[in-house]
């Protein structure tokens, strides 16, 4: 998709804005994973590498042969060791468990290919799939199968960690997915789901992939309690995926933040969008999203907190926008949205728009720039608040004017424009900061 060109200057706004503090730059990746704070992971990685070096290699094809010989619904316990063998195909329902087995793709292939219903994979380390321009390599690929469970595994240096296609009822839970940190063309997604239903992604740590979680044509999915950080493109990216819920996740320091597009009836609650900074970065991009709920989230130190483009009939409520370059950007083609009970605190620009018209509704929000009064002391301002400033409109038309944002001249232009008005601004924030 083509990112709106006007976003770039707001990256500079974020840098110029003193209250936002110094930008936290992701540290260089360590040898084993691409952690934001890799220093805290290093002892575990060294211990893991030492243990792996001391584990015996297993005869070529031993695990594949054992799975092939097992009856359906068998529980197969795999002993510790390093397994290097061709892609292991699972074509019957089995429970595959281990506490220390390492499956190594040697930089050449997908490691596990699941083609049967009711398969569980638990307790493995899967590593080194290598990158390919002609095939989508994964630590675990599930194709045309239902009710799979992938849990408590570690993925290191995999292109795609978990790849789901044409599945129903699969669960990816409590795994560590550490990608290669390579460029987008040489990298895959942490959890990739295509043309699937009722997918659950919960409690995972995802970093160093292209997109942390990617959904396309996924309906009734649930993504909860994951931490997605330091991915080269998006922490979360989904398209054409209706009736999905995203709750309790943290998206931090991803290359372009989070992008959700061409979907309806989406629920995003109690997530944290933090320090997603760059010329085309958003805490949350809502493009052609309709009839959805964005509630109780925190947007902190992003270039743009929330960007609305072609999005209609959405409810955006009880969110906190703290120290962003632009807290909320609403384009003219975003219509009939209701934005209420949100807190806007310490942002360079609270609201930006490309239109003087008002096509969405602001009401009952807290604005730290509000200078009105409350004579009847009911906690609601007696005069409306217009959060779009004249200088903000100047920047929309002439982005280079942003370099004047800290000058005294801007004070002369710090006048309210009636593009969007909050008729009932609150005097106190609803949530703690």
Give the per-residue pLDDT at 152: 98
Residue 96 lies in a domain: yes
Per-residue pLDDT at 14 exceeds 60: no
Give the per-residue pLDDT at 56: 60
Among 60-64, 176-180, 213-217, which is the least confidently predicted range?
60-64
Give tens-digit pLDDT for 133-158: 889 999 999 999 999 999 999 999 99
Q: How many other C-beta atoms lie within 10 A of the C-beta of residue 199? A: 25
Per-residue pLDDT at 38 exceeds 90: no
Residues 415, 420: Cα–Cα separation, whole Å: 13
Interior angle at CA 110, CA 106 and CA 115, nearest 5: 150
Give the per-residue pLDDT at 19: 39
Give tens-digit pLDDT for 356-392: 777 899 999 999 999 898 999 899 999 998 888 766 6
Residue 418 lies in a domain: no
Among 131-140, 337-346, 397-406, which is the least confidently predicted range?
397-406
Mean pLDDT for the stretch of residues 98-125: 96
Q: Give the pLDDT band (50/70/90) at residue 26.
A: very low
Residues 3, 6: Cα–Cα separation, whole Å: 9
Per-residue pLDDT at 211 exceeds 80: yes
Residues 297, 243: Cα–Cα separation, whole Å: 19
Residue 427 lies in a domain: no
Give the per-residue pLDDT at 411: 61
Give the per-residue pLDDT at 342: 97
Per-residue pLDDT at 5 exceeds 50: no
Give the per-residue pLDDT at 431: 67
Residue 428 lies in a domain: no
Give the per-residue pLDDT at 17: 44
Residues 199, 218: Cα–Cα separation, whole Å: 8
What's the CATH code of the domain at 269? 2.160.20
Residue 421 lies in a domain: no
% pLDDT > 70, the chain: 78
Residue 191 lies in a domain: yes
Q: Does residue 34 come out as left (phi exceeding 0), alpha (psi in the -120 to 50 range) or beta?
A: beta
> Using the 8-state DSSP alphabet, how is residue 53 labeled?
H
Per-residue pLDDT at 402 exceeds 90: no
Q: Give the pLDDT band (50/70/90) at residue 180.
A: confident
Give the per-residue pLDDT at 363: 95
Mean pLDDT for the stretch of residues 293-315: 97
Helix ranges restricted to H, 55-134: 62-69
% pLDDT > 90, the chain: 66
Mean pLDDT for the stretch of residues 123-127: 98
Give the per-residue pLDDT at 97: 97
Q: Using an 8 Å Cβ cutoff, are 65 and 89 in contact?
A: no
Of residues 225 and 386, more confidence is placed in 225
The alpha carbon dihedral of 317, 323, 324, 328 has a sign of positive
Mean pLDDT for the stretch of residues 193-215: 97
Residue 138 lies in a domain: yes
Per-residue pLDDT at 12 exceeds 70: no
Q: Which residue in 241, 238, 239, 233 sits closest to 265, CA to CA?
A: 241
Of residues 353 and 6, more confidence is placed in 353
Per-residue pLDDT at 105 exceeds 80: yes
Per-residue pLDDT at 166 exceeds 50: yes
Q: How far is CA 33 from the centre of its chain?
A: 18
Domain that residue 227 falls in: 5-413
Measured in Å, how far apart are the chain's first and last C-alpha atoms?
34
Q: Give the pLDDT band (50/70/90) at residue 201.
A: very high
Give the per-residue pLDDT at 58: 60
Q: How many domains does the chain have?
A: 1
In angstroms, what CA-CA distances link 162 with 98, 176, 204? 18, 11, 12
Give tens-digit pLDDT for 42-91: 444 444 444 544 556 666 578 999 999 999 999 999 999 999 999 999 99
Mean pLDDT for the stretch of residues 174-203: 93
SS (H, E, C) 296-315: CCEEECCCEEEEEECCECCE
Residue 276 lies in a domain: yes
* Strongest mean pLDDT among 54-58, 266-270, 349-353: 266-270
């Amino acid at each position: 998709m083509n990112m709106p060109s006007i976003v770039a200057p707001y990256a500079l706004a974020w840098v110029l804005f003193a209250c936002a503090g110094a930008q936290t730059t992701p540290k260089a990746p360590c040898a084993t994973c691409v952690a934001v704070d890799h220093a805290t992971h290093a002892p575990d990685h060294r211990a893991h590498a030492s243990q792996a070096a001391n584990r015996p290699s297993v005869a070529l094809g031993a695990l594949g042969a054992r799975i092939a010989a097992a009856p359906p619904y068998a529980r197969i316990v795999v002993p510790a060791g390093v397994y290097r063998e061709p892609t292991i195909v699972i074509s019957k329902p089995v429970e595959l468990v281990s506490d220390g087995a390492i499956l190594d793709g040697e930089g050449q292939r997908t490691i596990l290919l699941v083609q049967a219903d009711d398969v569980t994979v638990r307790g493995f380390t899967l590593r080194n799939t290598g990158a390919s321009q002609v095939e989508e390599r994964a630590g675990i690929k599930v194709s045309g199968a239902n009710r799979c469970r992938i849990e408590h595994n570690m993925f290191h240096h995999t292109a795609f960690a978990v790849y789901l296609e044409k599945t129903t009822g699969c669960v990816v839970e409590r795994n560590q997915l550490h990608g290669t940190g390579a460029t987008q063309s040489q990298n895959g997604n942490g959890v990739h789901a295509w043309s699937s239903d009722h997918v659950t992604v919960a409690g995972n740590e995802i970093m160093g992939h292209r997109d942390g979680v990617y959904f396309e044509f996924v309906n009734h999915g649930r993504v909860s309690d994951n931490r997605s950080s330091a991915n080269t493109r998006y922490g979360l990216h989904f398209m054409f995926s209706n009736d999905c819920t995203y709750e309790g996740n943290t998206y931090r320091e991803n290359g372009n933040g989070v992008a959700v597009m061409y979907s309806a009836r989406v629920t995003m609650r109690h997530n944290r969008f933090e320090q997603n900074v760059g010329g085309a970065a958003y805490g949350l991009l809502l493009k052609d999203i309709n009839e959805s709920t964005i509630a109780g989230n925190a947007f902190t130190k992003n270039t743009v907190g929330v960007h609305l483009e072609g999005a209609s009939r959405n409810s955006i409520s009880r969110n906190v926008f703290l120290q962003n370059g632009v807290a909320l950007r609403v384009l003219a083609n975003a219509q009939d949205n209701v934005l209420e009970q949100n807190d806007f605190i310490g942002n360079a620009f609270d609201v930006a728009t490309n239109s003087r018209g008002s096509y969405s509704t602001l009401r009952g929000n807290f604005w730290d720039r509000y200078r009105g009064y409350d004579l009847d002391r009911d906690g609601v301002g007696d005069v409306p608040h217009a959060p779009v400033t004249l200088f903000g409109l100047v920047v929309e038309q002439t982005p280079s004017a942003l370099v004047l944002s800290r000058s005294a001249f801007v004070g002369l232009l710090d006048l309210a424009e009636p593009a969007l008005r909050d008729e009932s601004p609150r005097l106190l924030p609803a949530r703690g900061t």
